[in-house]
Amino acid sequence: MEHDRLMLPVRYPKHWKQYELIDSGNGLKWEQFGERILQRPEPQALWSPFSSLASLRTMTHWRFEPGGSRNGAWLPQNRSRKGRSIGEDQSASERWPIAYQSPVLNLRFHLAMTGFKHVGLFPEQADNWEFIASAVKALPPGAKVLNLFAYTGGASLAAAQAGAQVYHLDSVRQVVDWARRNADLSGLSGLHWVVEDARKFVQREIKRGHVYDAVLLDPPAYGIGSSGERWKLEDQLGVLLDEVMQLLHPQRHALLLNAYSLGLSPLILRTMLGLSYAESDLECGETALKDHQGRLLPLGIYARATKGLSFNSA
């Protein structure tokens, strides 16, 4: 029996100075964002924490308790929706800053507690920001980049700082406003802010004959649209990718796809995109974070594809 000796890489950030994965286990993770240490649920942390729960509890400023409210809000001891504060002044500001610096990028973000365990940043995506910046620099000056399901803008800011003309799209106005604040904090201007359904926007852009040099997409695993339409990534991804390919410059472009659904794998992404790209131009793997002990916490999968570009994305 022959085996395909396929290497599926694991990508994790290497330049964070103000973020750290401290520990993980028992379905939880402990992270330091700037000056704050948070405890949040992490279903893929199936092992035991390296540190004792008592020591982790002592150092934690905030923790997310999804069982404490019908909508999974951050809950303090008085059961309000601001988060459970441990060893921290209750009057402390809800929003706080964090910076990401590398030889290529210098970005700043506002973070805040939300009702869905998120804080406005996915730190594992920093390695993808590096890829985006390198791809933009390999494209012609002023390259057009479309960021779909763009959330609070980490990928958009990376592309803009590298010199791209960025179209940032998300269907939720509040997170687009959050991304605007992050752009202001990072000293970036000129981004195009779009509040719209991603599929509808892509279909309109195809009809208009518009072309982009790079498309970034980070679709949710599932959801319900504003008109009640249901979204499940496994059902929609093939059609979405077919449409996105029609927007990309046929001779030279970059594509980045993130996925968080447990129903997908890097091999599935590789098979879906393999007919469109040479093997040397397509990389599919896992996204992760590395903790103090060197253990890797998997946090999603990705596909990076290029056509007609030459650069080092290591």
Specify whether 168 is located in the same domain as 84: no
Last-in-domain residue among 42, 63, 97: 97
The answer to the question of residue 272 being in a domain is yes
Global pTM? 0.90
The count of domains in the chain is 2
Q: List the structure tokens of 79.
A: 């059961």
Specify whether 140 is located in the same domain as 77: no
Q: Provide the 3-class DSSP secondary structure of residue 176.
A: helix
The answer to the question of residue 110 being in a domain is no
CATH number, residue 82? 2.60.40.1180
Specify whether 78 is located in the same domain as 128: no
Cα(292)–Cα(296) distance, integer angstroms: 10
Q: Tell me: the pLDDT tens digits for 43-92?
A: 999 999 999 999 999 999 888 876 544 443 343 333 334 444 444 544 45
Specify whether 235 is located in the same domain as 147: yes
The answer to the question of residue 106 being in a domain is no
Q: List the structure tokens of 271.
A: 């098979």
Specify whether 218 is located in the same domain as 277: yes
Cα(248)–Cα(245) distance, integer angstroms: 5
Last-in-domain residue among 97, 130, 149: 97
Question: Which pLDDT score, from 0 to 100, does residue 2 have?
Answer: 52
- Average pLDDT of 238-257? 97
Specify whether 170 is located in the same domain as 274: yes
Specify whether 58 is located in the same domain as 129: no
Specify whether 68 is located in the same domain as 127: no
Cα(19)–Cα(164) distance, integer angstroms: 26
Specify whether 195 is located in the same domain as 293: yes
Q: Sorting pLDDT into bands at 50, 70 and 90, what band is 5?
A: low
Specify whether 182 is located in the same domain as 261: yes
pLDDT of residue 116 exceeding 60: yes
The answer to the question of residue 300 being in a domain is yes
The answer to the question of residue 112 being in a domain is no
Specify whether 27 is located in the same domain as 60: yes
CATH number, residue 274? 3.40.50.150
Domain that holds residue 77: 10-97
Last-in-domain residue among 82, 97, 112: 97
Question: Which pLDDT score, from 0 to 100, does residue 272 have?
Answer: 95
Cα(86)–Cα(37) distance, integer angstroms: 10
The answer to the question of residue 312 being in a domain is no
The answer to the question of residue 188 being in a domain is yes
Residue 198 contacts residue 171 (beta carbons within 8 Å): yes
> What type of residue sits at position 18?
Q
Specify whether 131 is located in the same domain as 207: yes
Residue 88 contacts residue 71 (beta carbons within 8 Å): no
Q: Sorting pLDDT into bands at 50, 70 and 90, what band is 227?
A: low
The answer to the question of residue 225 being in a domain is yes
